[in-house]
Structures are given as structure tokens and as C-alpha cells.
A and B are shown apart, each in its own frame.
Chain A
Amino acid sequence: MIQAIGRRSISAVEAVGRVGHFVMDMVRALADIGVWARLTIVQMRRIGVDSLPVALFIAAFTGVVLALQASYTFTGAVPLYFVGTLVGKTMMLELGPVLAGLALAGRVGASMAAELGTMKVTEQVDALETLAYDPQSYLVIPRVLAGTLMFPVVVAFAIATGIITGWLTSLVLLDLSTQDFIKGLKLFYVFKDVWFGLLKSASFGFTITLVGCIVGLGTRGGAEGVGRSATRAVVYSAILILVLDAFWAVVLL
């Protein structure tokens, strides 16, 4: 048992070391701007634009549910215009970034790990190196940069969508006027609500894409290995999103 604990401890330290090395290599490869700049634009479209539908879909229904649950909780005790407060605050601070992050961990993280994993096991990554490209500047930096830049954009749209569907629900199902919903929305609003949510989502974007790249490029074996990597990327990303969520709450709130 002691041996097993020792082995696990060593492999955990090794994993941390590998991630550290990976990030150092990535930072060093930033000098190769001629390679990664053009590819980053392509990845921004793939990660940003292509992720919008799933993020907006989730946000739309979250807004509906938030408005209905708020009204159910407040009945008789709290003025109904607080529905706007709860929908706004919750979407901006928590559910917008976290739900979009978890959904995109599946969509972006898994596809990235599978794509890079397939490239790895079919020697395309080696081929890239023999053609004098650094996989860090050709594959990793464009993805991580695009994820970090585009996640806040996707989350901003998701927050707006959630608030709009919360407002529509209040209007149609709760007999709450637009003025009252906006009154509630503005009641405890501070600008920090917005930048806190967007900063969090940028950190989620960075984490999901970095994990996707590390796991993808570490793939071994054939199709089974690629499948394992895709699963790992989603699980690790989801865990890290929740850890980061708590971290930012402790540090910034």
C-alpha cells in the first residue's frame, strides 16, 4: 500500500512537471508569431462562432428556469421585481460562465483532444516537426489563445441571452412588467458583476484549451487512445472549471 501511495505521488509530481514544461514551451514558442498569428484567427472562428449555438441554447433555458424559480421562491415574501435581480446576478456571476464553460469543455475540449490525439497517433505531429514547425506554435498557441479570447465573447452572448429569456418569461408567465424587471436588474448591479464573469470565462477558456492540447498531444495507442484522451480532456476540464470557479469567488468576491 505504501508503495502504491509512493508511486501515485511520484506520478502526480511528474504530471505537474510535464504541465509546467508544456507551458514553458508554449511561452517560448510565442516568439514564432509568423506561424501562430494567422492560425489563431482560424481557431477563433472555430472555437467562438461554432460554439455559440450550444452556449446560447443552454443560456436561453437557464434564463427561463431562473425566472420561474425566483418567482416560486419569492412568492408573498419578496417583491417580484427581485426576479430581475436574481436572473441578472446569477447569469453574470455564475451560471453564464460556468454552464457555458462546462458545455464547451465537452464540445471544444473533447474535439481538440481527439483532433490532436489523432494527429499524434498518425504521426502528423512528428511530420510537422520534421517540416521544421514547432507543434507549440502551430497547434497549441492558436488554440489556447483563441479559447482565452473567445470564451468571454461567447459567455457575454450567453449572459445576454439568459437575461433576455428571463425577462420574456417574467413578462409572459409572471405578469411582471418590463419596468419592474429592469428595476430589479439594476438594483444591485455593479460593473464588477460583468468583468468578474468575463474574467472567469477567459480563465475557463484558457484551461479547457490547454487541457485539450496537453491531453491530445500526450495520446498513445490508436483509436482507443484517442477516445481515452477525449474523455480525459472533458473530465479534467470540468473538474478544473469548478475548482477555478471557487478560486475566483474566494479571491475576487
Chain B
Amino acid sequence: MIELQDLQKAFGEKPVLQGFTLKVRDAETMVIIGYSGSGKSVALKHIVGLLHPDVGDVIVDGQAVSTLDRDGLTLLRQGVGYVFQFAALFDSMTVADNLALGLRRRGLDEAEIEERVQEALALVDLSGTGERMPAELSGGMRKRVGIARAIALRPRYILYDEPTTGLDPVTSAVIDRLMVRTREHLGVTGVVVTHDMRSAYTVGDRIAMLYEGRVRQVGSVAEIQQTEDPVVRQFIEGRAE
């Protein structure tokens, strides 16, 4: 289970998170929605210790992330897959090497690494692309490689940062299906940060809206769709006013 407890984070004078509290249950997919710049990605980065809160803490499997030393963080990160907004593929490596890098860190032998790489690429429908360089891939393919890199680690948790942003509707649907398939196949707990409501409804078990640094509302997909909160309604309906 992941618990974000009263997270507060400011960059310079600008407060981003102002008491953000959220529990993500095991095996569920929690979607965090919110306006651009509302701090969704910032919250996600706190889960793996890429950012440290000014106040509050993140508890993963009963461990407070802020109390972990470098070795503790390494152990935590070995159980978490992270899918970045723009995939963050290592552009000097082939697709296969991108997937293999995390596996090598876990001390797997080369035969098993090769097997896991091929399996992960097959799961994202990209078999046969292992020898290509990231620069040769389309935006959608890069995102799928980013997901494959996370899946190959067989993590307990996968964190998705804006997985469908910048993609056409069909490719977005492919990525959504992939996230659902990943949860069904691997049974992982997922946290998805997005402002794409179609994606949120497709992949989410529960949805939390981050607004002005705090959770405005959290509930099942049906509860969010029927909300009477004017701020949440405006956001999910995409109204200008």
C-alpha cells in the first residue's frame, strides 16, 4: 500500500502541494487528475524519493520514504516501475538495452534478461524492435517502450506520469488498453497521473482530484462521474467556466 500523508512541497516561493493526503490500496489503479501545473507529477516523484517533501511523508509498504538511506531507496525502487511523461528512454542505447538496464542492476543473468526483454516487448506489441534506437520510434512507440521497461522489472507498483499526453486518440486507447492489460497480467498496484478523462475512466478503479495542493475529491469512477462538486464537475466535463 502507498500512503501519501499530508505532503507539502514548495519550489521557492511557490507552494505546489499543501497537505496532499491519499491512500492507494494494493492491486488497485488510482488515477490522480488535476489541472496542468497542479502538482500531480510532483506528488508521483515523492513516491520513489525523486523529490523530498518539505512536510509530511510517503509510506510505501509501511516504510517512510524520507527515512530511507541510499540503499533503502535502491531496494524500494527495485519494487517500483516508473513510466515517464516523455518516456525518458536512454537515447544512446537500443530499445533492448533500455529494458535490460534495470534488470542488470537486479543481478539477473543474461539469458533471463533476454527472456524478460522479449516478454515485455511482446506485451506492449513491440516484438522485433529491440535493436532499434529510441530516435527511430514514434511518440506512441516510445511510450510503449517506457511501459515495457517498467513491466520488465515485474514490479509491485507501477507509476504512470501522463501516459497518454500528446498522443492521438487511437494511440491513447492503445496505451489505456496496455495499462489495463498490465494490471490484469501482473496484478500490480498502479498510480496514474493524467488530465485525460477518457483514460482516467478506462484504467482507474478510483480517481482523486488534486486541486490547490490538496485532494479535492476521491472516489470510484462512478462517484466521480456523478459528483456535485462544481470544481470537479467543471474539470471532468472540460468546461471553460
Which chain A residues have a beta carbon within 8 Å of chain B's beta carbons? 28, 35, 122-124, 126-134
Contact of B86 among A35, A123, A132, A133 (CB under 8 A): A123
Question: What are 5 of the A-B contact pairs (CB < 8 Å)?
Answer: A124-B89, A124-B91, A126-B45, A126-B84, A131-B102
Binds A, one of B22-30, B60-68, B72-80, B193-201: B72-80
Instruction: Return chain A residues, CB-CB under 8 Å to B50.
Output: 126, 129-130
> Known: A129-B77, A130-B77. Contact between A124 and B102, CB under 8 A?
no
B95 interface residue (CB < 8 Å to A)? no
In the bound complex, CA of A152 to CA of B74 (Å): 36
In the bound complex, CA of A130 to CA of B149 (Å): 11
Contact of A123 among B88, B101, B153 (CB under 8 A): B88
Question: Is B80 a contact of A127 with CB atoms below 8 Å?
Answer: no
B185 interface residue (CB < 8 Å to A)? no
Question: Is B85 a contact of A132 with CB atoms below 8 Å?
Answer: no
Question: Is A28 a contact of B77 with CB atoms below 8 Å?
Answer: no
What is the CB-to-nearest-CB distance from B201 to chain A, in angstroms, rounded to a whole number?
Answer: 27
Instruction: Return chain A residues, CB-CB under 8 Å to B85.
Output: 123
B70 interface residue (CB < 8 Å to A)? yes
B35 interface residue (CB < 8 Å to A)? no
Output the nearest chain A residue to B161 by Cβ-Cβ distance.
A123
B211 interface residue (CB < 8 Å to A)? no
Question: Is B88 a contact of A132 with CB atoms below 8 Å?
Answer: no
In the bound complex, CA of A132 to CA of B104 (Å): 10
Contact of B101 among A28, A126, A131 (CB under 8 A): A131
Output the nearest chain A residue to B92 by Cβ-Cβ distance.
A115
> Known: A130-B48, A130-B77, A130-B82. Contact between A122 and B105, CB under 8 A?
no
Query: Given A127-B84, A127-B88, A134-B70, 7 other A-B contacts at CB below 8 A?
Result: A123-B88, A124-B90, A127-B90, A128-B90, A129-B77, A132-B106, A134-B74
Contact of A126 among B74, B80, B88, B91 (CB under 8 A): B88
Contact of B105 among A123, A124, A126, A131 (CB under 8 A): A131
Instruction: Return chain A residues, CB-CB under 8 Å to B91.
Output: 122, 124
In the bound complex, CA of A67 to CA of B90 (Å): 49
Output the nearest chain B residue to A126 by Cβ-Cβ distance.
B50
Output the nearest chain A residue to B45 by Cβ-Cβ distance.
A126
Question: Is A124 a contact of B77 with CB atoms below 8 Å?
Answer: no
Instruction: Return chain A residues, CB-CB under 8 Å to B80.
Output: 130
Instruction: Return chain A residues, CB-CB under 8 Å to B105.
Output: 35, 131-133
In the bound complex, CA of A35 to CA of B91 (Å): 19
What is the CB-to-nearest-CB distance from A204 to chain B, in angstroms, rounded to a whole number?
Answer: 26
Instruction: Return chain A residues, CB-CB under 8 Å to B81.
Output: 130
In the bound complex, CA of A122 to CA of B91 (Å): 10
For B101-117 the 0/1 string (1 means CB < 8 A from A) is 11001100000000000
In the bound complex, CA of A126 to CA of B46 (Å): 12
CB-CB contacts below 8 Å: B170-223 with A:
none
What is the CB-to-nearest-CB distance from A130 to chain B, in angstroms, rounded to a whole number?
Answer: 4
Instruction: Return chain B residues, CB-CB under 8 Å to A126.
Output: 45, 50, 82, 84, 88
Output the nearest chain A residue to B75 by Cβ-Cβ distance.
A132
What is the CB-to-nearest-CB distance from B78 to chain A, in angstroms, rounded to a whole number?
Answer: 5
Output the nearest chain A residue to B79 by Cβ-Cβ distance.
A132
In the bound complex, CA of A7 to CA of B106 (Å): 45
Q: Which one of B45, B74, B84, B88 has the greatest number of beta carbons of chain A within 10 Å?
A: B88
What is the CB-to-nearest-CB distance from B177 to chain A, in angstroms, rounded to a whole number?
Answer: 24
Question: Is B77 a contact of A131 with CB atoms below 8 Å?
Answer: yes
Output the nearest chain A residue to B102 by Cβ-Cβ distance.
A131
What is the CB-to-nearest-CB distance from A222 to chain B, in angstroms, rounded to a whole number?
Answer: 11
In the bound complex, CA of A134 to CA of B74 (Å): 8
In the bound complex, CA of A86 to CA of B70 (Å): 53
Question: Is B88 a contact of A122 with CB atoms below 8 Å?
Answer: yes
In the bound complex, CA of A35 to CA of B74 (Å): 14
> Known: A126-B45, A126-B50. Contact between A132 and B84, CB under 8 A?
no
What is the CB-to-nearest-CB distance from B92 to chain A, in angstroms, rounded to a whole number?
Answer: 9
Instruction: Return chain A residues, CB-CB under 8 Å to B86.
Output: 122-123
Instruction: Return chain A residues, CB-CB under 8 Å to B74.
Output: 132, 134
